[in-house]
């Protein structure tokens, strides 16, 4: 099994992970492992959308409206 070291983690994030770990009844290490595992296994949104489109017959034949909008600058204050 592999190990990693995370440097520069904000103290507030560490406190939140500690609170979550306590809430879930596990160590901080186990909590971080669960968070990372869940994040790594989350499906890519593009792949999920493609699968959903294929489930309903695909996207061939759908009209694609012409874009006639013009990009505009955003002013920052």
pTM of structure: 0.57
Helix pair 28-41, 11-24: axis angle to 10 deg: 100
Sign of CA dihedral 52, 55, 60, 62: negative
pLDDT digits (tens, 9 = 90+) for 4-38: 999 999 999 999 999 999 999 999 999 999 999 99
CB 17 within 8 A of CB 28: yes
pLDDT of 77 > 80? The answer is: no
DSSP 29-69: HHHHHHHHHHHHHSPPHHHHHHHHHHHTT-STT---PPP--
pLDDT digits (tens, 9 = 90+) for 31-71: 999 999 999 888 888 888 888 888 888 888 778 888 888 88
Q: What pLDDT shows up at residue 4?
A: 92
């Amino acid at each position: 099994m592999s190990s990693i070291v995370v440097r520069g983690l904000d103290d507030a994030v560490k406190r939140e992970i500690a609170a979550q770990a306590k809430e879930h009844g596990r160590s901080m290490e186990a909590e971080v492992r669960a968070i990372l595992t869940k994040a790594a296994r989350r499906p890519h949104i593009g792949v999920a959308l493609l699968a959903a489109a294929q489930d309903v017959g695909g996207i061939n034949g759908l009209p694609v409206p012409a874009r006639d909008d013009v990009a505009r600058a955003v002013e920052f204050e």
